[in-house]
Amino acid sequence: MSEPTLQAQIDAANAYEGLFVPALFGQWATKVADAAQIQPGQRVLDVACGTGILAREVALRTGSNGRVAGIDPSPGMLTVAKQLAPAVEWREGVAESLPFPDQSFDAVVSQFGLMFFTDKHQALREMMRVLAPGGRLVIAVWDSLDSIPAYASEVVLLEQTAGQQAADALRAPFVLGSWEVLATLFAEAGVTSAEITTHHGAAKFPGIQTMVEADLRGWLPVMGVSLAEDQIGRILQEAELALSSYATVEGQVTFHLSAHLVTAKKF
């Protein structure tokens, strides 16, 4: 499969910012920034920044004397991030190889990216390396699929209508949902001070079709799964019934979402 053009990546990032950020990700930026105890004047790095919702929240707190940097491998995400917050330092790169000197940040934050890193241990070691002594690392990951029934229902629907690969693509964001898996990962990476807490929020989509279509057209292709148009049409039809219990009378979809915040201190 050929790489999408930069314009296609920017279009996808604009769609991400317009739909997924308000529906899912936006509310977590304040929780992560609170846990990181961001103060005016601090130097803060947002890893896997996407379109920058967390970096923007952090920049409000560090103020004009602070330094906020965001790093992500996606040029499309970074283009949108730059348009929304030109004052933040946006860098293209991966968590496994951070282009910053040792001890250059007072806090390192990251929400909903760790599950996608190719080498999670190396990424955690890198995030600790760039933290100054006394600095804080805060990482958010989704809770397990068992705790988020709406997505569990959508996974079942995809398994029945589009097969295992499509269902696995939708399972991927939730694979670090177990406390045991998370604790083991951080311990293996040498992060001895990690503490895990679980937090609660809500997802809000304008409707069932919007939610499922965004996953079918926006998320599955990112995971290497492209469905045919007639199959997408059939799944959207079946989704109306499969997810009906999460829709309000006005047709909006709202459901409980939980996530784990892992907090660690650099000694």
Q: Which residue is nearest to ligand SAM (CB)?
A: 50
Q: Which is nearer to ligand SAM, 65 or 118 (CB)?
A: 118
Q: Is residue 177 at the binding interface for ligand SAM, with CB under 6 A as the rule?
A: no
Q: Binders of ligand SAM among 12-41, rule CB under 6 A?
A: 21, 25
CA distances, 80 to each of 68, 70, 75, 167, 221 (Å): 16, 12, 9, 29, 20
The answer to whether residues 128 and 264 touch, using CB atoms and an 8 Å cutoff, is: yes
Comparing CB distances to ligand SAM, the nearer of 55 and 242 is 55
Alpha-carbon distance of 172 to 122, in angstroms, equals 20
Q: Strands 105-111 and 89-92: what pairing?
A: unpaired
Exposed e or buried b per residue across 228-259, where buried means at least 16 C-beta atoms within 10 angstroms of its C-beta: eeeebeebeeebeebbeebbeeeeebebebeb
Phi and psi for 107 in degrees, rounded to 5? -150, 145
Tell me if 9 contacts ligand SAM by CB under 6 A. no
Residue 41 one-letter amino acid:
G
CB closer to ligand SAM, 139 vs 242: 139
Binding mask 189-228 for ligand SAM (x = CB under 6 A): ----------------------------------------
Helices (H), the chain: 6-15, 26-35, 53-62, 75-84, 120-129, 149-162, 164-171, 179-188, 208-213, 229-242
CB 244 to ligand SAM: min, Å: 27
Q: Is 53 in the site for ligand SAM (CB under 6 A)?
A: yes
* Least distance CB 52 / ligand SAM (angstroms): 8
95 forms part of the interface with ligand SAM (CB under 6 A): yes
Query: Least distance to ligand SAM from the beta carbon of 8, Å?
Result: 14
3-state secondary structure of 206: coil
50 touching ligand SAM, by CB under 6 A: yes
Indicate the residue among 77 and 243 with the shorter CB distance to ligand SAM: 77
Site string for ligand SAM, 102-121 (x = CB under 6 A): ---------xxx--xxx---
Across the beta sheet with 253-265, what order do the strands follow?
89-92, 67-72, 43-47, 105-111, 131-142, 253-265, 195-205
Q: Please tell me whether residue 42 binds ligand SAM under the rule CB under 6 A.
A: no
Q: Which residues bind ligand SAM (CB under 6 A)?
A: 21, 25, 47-50, 53-54, 72-74, 77, 94-96, 111-113, 116-118
